[in-house]
Amino acid sequence: MMSRFIARVGLLVLPVIALLTAGCSEADLKVRQSTFDAKGPVARMQYDIFMDSVYLVTVLFAIVGGLLVYAVIRFRARPGDENKPAIVEDGHGNPVTEILLIVASIGALVFLAIPTLKGIWYQDDVPEDRVPAGRLSVWYPRVEGGVENYAEAVKDQVLEIDVVGKQWWFRFEYPQFGLTNDGRRSVPNELVIPKGVPVRINLRSEDVIHSFWIPKVAGKVDLMPGRRNRMWIQADETGHYYGQCAEFCGDSHAYMLFRCEVLEPADFARWVRAQKQDAPEPPAGSKAAEGKALFAAKTCAMCHNVSGHFGAGAFGPDLTHVASRKSLAGAWLDNRNPEAQRAAEAAAGGNTEASAPVDRAVQKANLIRWIGSSGVLHAEAAEPTRDVKPGNRMHYYKMFNVAGLNETKTKLTPSELDALAEYLLTLK
Amino acid sequence: MSHDHHHAPVASRYDLAPERSDIGLIRPDRFTGWRDWLTTVDHKKIGVLYGAFAMFFFLVGGVEALGIRTQLSRPDNDFITARMYNQLFTMHGTTMIFLGVMPLSAAFFNFLVPLQIGARDVAFPRLNAFSLWTFVFGAFVLNASWLFEFAHLSGWLKSFGWYNALVYTDFAPANGWFSYAPLSGTFGQADAALRAPRFTGVGTDFWIIGIQILGIASLAASFNFICTILNMRAKGMTMMRLPVFTWMTLVTSFLIILAFPAITVALIQLMFDRQFGANFFNPSAGGQPVLWQHLFWIFGHPEVYILVLPAMGIVSEVLPTFSGKSLFGYPIIVFSGAVIGFLGFAVWSHHMFTTGLGPVPTAAFSLLTMAIAVPTGVKIFNWLGTIWGGRVRFTPPMVLSLGFIWMFMCGGFSGIMHSSAPADSQQQDSYFVIAHFHYVLLGGVLLGLMSGLYFWFPKIFGRMPKASVAYWASGLVILGFNLAFGPMHYLGLAGQPRRTHTYHAGFGWETWNYVATIGAFILGIGVFIAFANLVWTAFRGEKCSSDPWDGRTLEWSLPSPVPEYNFARSPVIACRDAFFAHKHGAHRLVYEQDGGEAGVHMPSQSWMPLLASCGFLLAGLGMPMSAMGVPHAGWVVIAGLGVLFLGIWLWALEGPGGYMLKTPVAPAPAPAEAAASR
């Protein structure tokens, strides 16, 4: 009975194990959010400790699991046992064995405890030995950026970025460069950092708890409303990294993604300068100019800032450079051509940080889909589509109960939607 | 006035003359059928009811899980909406923990503890019935949210004025079983009606009041078991001769009475935030969201051990029985169980490593979490020691117990992995954690509980489940389980966060999510077959002897099904595994000279515990309905509290009652007979 059962289970389990091992390849360890493929010192430290724990439990598993299997087979009941007298004993165990096993277990855990303690302090704050390289004045090429890019007072500081979480997007601010939401210069959803230098991240939330996680660069730290958490990160290779909110934060938690662009320091300086540019005026009479008018008329400007055009919006993502970004809607929609992206990754030898450029056609389709399906802002003639981001706040007036603002006033026709998208495409 | 003990002993409670309680109502002692089940105070019937409800809710939670897995089977899926997904994972976790595992453990506590300690019932039989019905109504309140949700989705609520005034239209809870504030709470300033804006709808109110009611049920039951185990042991049943399952019941009960007050306080605070504009967790008014996490996890981590210790107790009974050998290192297994319970209160912040505790607390909780692996390891070593040198008989309960050890060990290993805070910062809130705690709670606890079901089912119903079906079900459960949760270790480390409605293609998660979904369905089929097999056995299964496994503890000395008075005469205990020693000649069981024609005292049945629990049902439904704005719902809450107090008042005034029942006094089976009956 039993041996047949074991044989049956074996027949079921063996193909599964074969499938599991056959399914593994090196590419599986390099996927976009893989923690196996650490690209910075923090993630590498965390990965190393993880591997320590893997070695530890593999040894323990081999010993305990092996003994268990051995005991079950070796001490199985045999025909004739029923005629033997029963084993009657007191069950006190063997104190010497017990104590030795406890001591051995503690010893095994010390093996993991030591790197753990080192790691906790290492990841808590920017380590001293990394600070000289991280100082703005050391690595930031002043000549190129000019004094306007950072104040003299902060030249001895580490680059600091404020990360603000909201339902369901991230806002990034660079106070040392004046790129803040109060100054209407914040950067939504695509974090940009220079390569090879430590960056201090200050984490805040404006509503519920979120969590900041770029698996290849660093493990997560939560954004707690009412608290200021901090962490430091460093990426050692340039490229386009993928991150995601890792704390359940409501309806669209799954859709709260972000990206992290790691640039050479000189490119980073150029990027900072570009962020300070105002949006260009669309040519009079163009579709984009019509869109610009709609941006005000349909109340978009109440929440969204477009520097140089509309300065009232502090609530939603800053759209001054929306067309320059590779993603939309909290990085849920990708503005790159999927074919081109696959090709780019393949050309880089399966490196998922390689990125194709923005595809304008894809970008425009994304803009139309996103605005057209959001909350009650959907276009009249548009097919009813599932919300790109269920519960998103583009209908927030309902909560604020703003007088005179209702569905009719914010609804868009397909041609209005097109004009709005054309306008947003000019905001590079 | 008192009617206690004035009856002449009767052979059956149906022979009793109708008797009035002190408040003048006829006592429901002579009921049969459903009225008997509603008023019963017999720990065995209450245990069976706990088990039946728990298995039902296991299936409900399982269907919720399959909804989740179907949605995740492929990328960018829209099988269900994001909100429905969030509701499903919230209710899946809540159902499995509070309505599945805890009541199934309670079923074993109820059925076994009096039998194992040689008692005739628990210390407070009517309180026991109150625990049961409070659990049932708490479960109903929690799941009533689904009824509202479905009514809302079908548009049936559109004609109600209060419905159209709602800002939030999520009726089933979508806040996660952990219900982190402020997502579950409020923000901004309260208005004149003391209502502050919220992030979630009335589902959260259902959840708050449902958990609160379930907590009352658990607390009442735990006090009952502590009193029972400490006071009602048979002569000679010293603490160090208690069966390990009873020991684990005791430890679990202490964990419950120490852990549940924390969640009770937290739930009251959250309810005050939502209903009355308090600001405990509202950051914009100076509240502390992280306070919720501390209160929740100082309940929530001991809760993990509340779930797992009973299963460990079961395994500690099953392994010696089928190894034909006493439990290796009994004192150290008991002691490590207690140490796990104690340390369980010292590790809660390992759920909060990413919240920015600072390095010192993070380090402290990291080390304490590693420390708790030691007593857990000790248990595994001792189970191994129990098998070592024994004669291992393979039966469905034994296979499931061995499965428990194996899966629990794997879960323990991934637990060691994220006891290290830096490594955990990559694993926290990812699928790796899902894999970990399902290995502990499903591969561990569920297999342990299934092992217990197959082990004690012949005792409970006197019928033996079919072994071939049991093996097939166990095989499917173990295979499906590993197929579903094994790949999640990889998915988590490949960066897939948990609690996400869907994911894009191109992140490398497609294949293993698909495999996991297939595994989940195999697992679901296995559990369904196992439960169907058990239910069928209860009614139609083959009858078996009273001691089919060569049992070791006192319950096996009783006939199956166990008579309502349990022991015709109270046993006197001389050693551990008293019945085994009795059968195999080390120490014969001796009995006291009670029972017989003089009868044993039996507690009276009562409607009052059920009535009091009904108060919770009314108050529990009224509370979220008043939050919805249903007119007069607030009065339902007050009426419910009134019914509760009325029930308890009448319960106090009706008098304990009781009657004397004659017991047959044939001596316990002699060693030769016991051996022959196998």
Select from B319, B360, B401, B425 the residue whose CB has the most chain A CBs within 10 Å, as the one to mutate to test that interface. B425
Cα separation, B322 vs B580, whole angstroms:
12
Digit-coded pLDDT (tens) for A353-381: 999 999 999 999 999 888 877 754 444 43
Chain B residues in contact with A49 by the CB 8 A cut-off are 420, 422-423
Chain B residues in contact with A56 by the CB 8 A cut-off are 416
Cα separation, A101 vs B596, whole angstroms:
51
**CB distance B578 to B617 below 8 Å:** no
Residue B666 has what DSSP assignment?
Answer: P
Question: Which pLDDT value is given to residue A248?
Answer: 96
Q: What is the ipTM of this complex?
A: 0.92
Q: Would A19 be classed as within a structural domain?
A: no
Question: Residue A185: helix, strand or coil by DSSP?
Answer: coil
CATH number of residue A350's parent domain: 1.10.760
Q: Shortest Cα distance from B277 to chain A (angstroms)?
A: 17
- Quickly state the pLDDT bin for B18 (edges 50, 70, 90): confident
**CB distance B606 to B39 below 8 Å:** yes
Q: Are residues A238 and A371 in the same domain?
A: no
A334/B504 Cβ within 8 A: yes
Chain B residues in contact with A90 by the CB 8 A cut-off are 326, 575-576
Q: What is the mean pLDDT of residues B159-178?
A: 88
Q: Are residues A309 and A192 in the same domain?
A: no
Q: Which of B325, B409, B422 sits opposite A46 (nearest CB)?
A: B422
Of A280, A287, A249, A313, whose CA–CA distance to A420 is shortest?
A287
A91/B327 Cβ within 8 A: yes
Q: Are residues A214 and A88 in the same domain?
A: yes
Q: Are residues A250 and A303 in the same domain?
A: no
Residue A232 has what DSSP assignment?
Answer: E
Digit-coded pLDDT (tens) for B199-243: 998 999 999 999 999 999 999 999 999 999 999 999 999 999 999
Chain B residues in contact with A376 by the CB 8 A cut-off are none
CATH number of residue A191's parent domain: 2.60.40.420
Q: Which residue has the tokens 């809660």?
A: B348
B374/A109 Cβ within 8 A: yes
Q: Are residues A299 and A271 in the same domain?
A: no
B331/A209 Cβ within 8 A: no
Q: Are residues A182 and A81 in the same domain?
A: yes
pLDDT in tens, chain A (428 residues): 555 555 555 665 666 666 666 666 778 889 999 999 999 999 999 999 999 999 999 999 999 999 999 999 999 998 888 888 888 776 667 788 888 989 999 999 999 999 999 999 999 988 888 888 888 877 665 545 454 566 677 878 899 999 999 989 999 999 988 899 998 999 999 999 999 999 999 999 999 999 999 999 999 999 999 899 999 999 999 999 999 999 999 999 999 999 999 999 888 888 988 898 899 999 999 999 999 999 988 888 888 999 999 988 888 999 999 999 999 999 999 999 999 999 999 999 889 999 999 999 999 999 988 887 775 444 443 444 567 888 777 764 444 445 555 555 667 788 888 999 999 999 98
Digit-coded pLDDT (tens) for B603-628: 999 999 999 999 999 999 999 999 88
Question: Which pLDDT value is given to residue A81?
Answer: 83
Residue A408 is encoded by which pair of tokens?
Answer: 């009719």
Using the 3D structure, point to which of A225, A250, A276 is the last residue of a domain. Answer: A276
Checking if the pLDDT of B655 tops 80, the result is: yes
Q: Is A403 on the interface with B (CB under 8 A)?
A: no
Residue A14 is encoded by which pair of tokens?
Answer: 């063996």
**What chain B residue is nearest to A338 in terms of C-alpha separation?**
B506
Q: Shortest Cα distance from B374 to chain A (angstroms)?
A: 6
Q: Are residues A316 and A243 in the same domain?
A: no
Q: Are residues A383 and A236 in the same domain?
A: no
Q: Which of B381, B414, B486 sits opposite A101 (nearest CB)?
A: B381
B354/A77 Cβ within 8 A: no
Task: List, as ranges, residues 111-140 from A with C-beta within 8 Å of B.
Answer: 112-113, 115-117, 119-124
**CB distance A198 to A232 below 8 Å:** yes
Q: Are residues A144 and A216 in the same domain?
A: yes
B370/A113 Cβ within 8 A: yes
**What chain A residue is nearest to B410 in terms of C-alpha separation?**
A61
Checking if the pLDDT of B672 tops 50, the result is: no
Of B557, B413, B420, whose CA–CA distance to B486 is shortest?
B413
Question: Residue A260: helix, strand or coil by DSSP?
Answer: strand
Q: Would A106 be classed as within a structural domain?
A: yes
Instruction: Give the sign of the dihedral formed by CA A173, CA A178, CA A179, CA A184.
Output: positive
Cα separation, B80 vs B77, whole angstroms:
8
Question: Which pLDDT value is given to residue A379?
Answer: 42
A47/B496 Cβ within 8 A: no
Sort strands A210-214 and A218-223 into parallel, antiparallel or unpaired: antiparallel
Using the 3D structure, point to which of A249, A276, A303 is the last residue of a domain. Answer: A276
Domain count, chain A: 2
Q: Which residue has the tokens 């849920």?
A: A332
Q: Would A5 be classed as within a structural domain?
A: no
Q: Are residues A196 and A227 in the same domain?
A: yes
Cα separation, B14 vs B342, whole angstroms:
47
Q: Are residues A268 and A343 in the same domain?
A: no
A221/B380 Cβ within 8 A: no
Question: Which pLDDT value is given to residue A324?
Answer: 94
Q: Would A205 be classed as within a structural domain?
A: yes
Q: Would A21 be classed as within a structural domain?
A: no
Question: What are the strands, taking DSSP E only, across B310-413?
Answer: none
Longest dimension (CA), chain B: 79
Checking if the pLDDT of B182 tops 80, the result is: yes
CA atoms within 13 A on the CB side of B660: 14
Q: Which helix (H) or strand (E) holds A188?
A: strand A187-188
Residues in chain A: 428
Q: Would A7 be classed as within a structural domain?
A: no
Starting from the edge strand earliest in sequence, which strands make up the sheet with A190-194, in order? A190-194, A257-263, A239-245, A210-214, A218-223
Provide the whole-model pTM: 0.93
Question: Which pLDDT value is given to residue B313?
Answer: 96
Q: Is A247 on the interface with B (CB under 8 A)?
A: yes
For chain B, give the percent of residues with pLDDT over 90. Answer: 83
Q: Is A230 on the interface with B (CB under 8 A)?
A: yes
Residue-number span of the structural domain to which A230 is assigned:
28-276
Q: Are residues A299 and A195 in the same domain?
A: no
Q: Is A218 on the interface with B (CB under 8 A)?
A: yes
Q: Shortest Cα distance from A407 to chain B (angstroms)?
A: 15
Checking if the pLDDT of B513 tops 80, the result is: yes
Q: What is the mean pLDDT of residues B552-566?
A: 94
Q: Share the mean pLDDT of chain B.
A: 92
Q: Shortest Cα distance from A129 to chain B (angstroms)?
A: 19
Q: Would A243 be classed as within a structural domain?
A: yes
Sequence-distant (6+) residues with CB within 8 A of B543 are B462, B463, B464
Chain A residues in contact with B420 by the CB 8 A cut-off are 49-50, 52-53, 112, 115-116, 119
Task: List, as ranges, residues 364-393 from A with C-beta within 8 Å of B.
Answer: 386, 390-391
Q: Shortest Cα distance from A200 to chain B (angstroms)?
A: 14
Using the 3D structure, point to which of A224, A244, A276 is the last residue of a domain. Answer: A276
Digit-coded pLDDT (tens) for B46-100: 999 999 999 999 999 999 999 999 999 999 998 998 999 999 999 999 999 999 9
Residue type, A201: I
Q: Shortest Cα distance from B356 to chain A (angstroms)?
A: 6
Checking if the pLDDT of B406 tops 50, the result is: yes
Q: Which of A77, A86, A208 sits opposite B199 (nearest CB)?
A: A208
Question: Which pLDDT value is given to residue B387?
Answer: 93
B507/A207 Cβ within 8 A: no
Q: Would A6 be classed as within a structural domain?
A: no
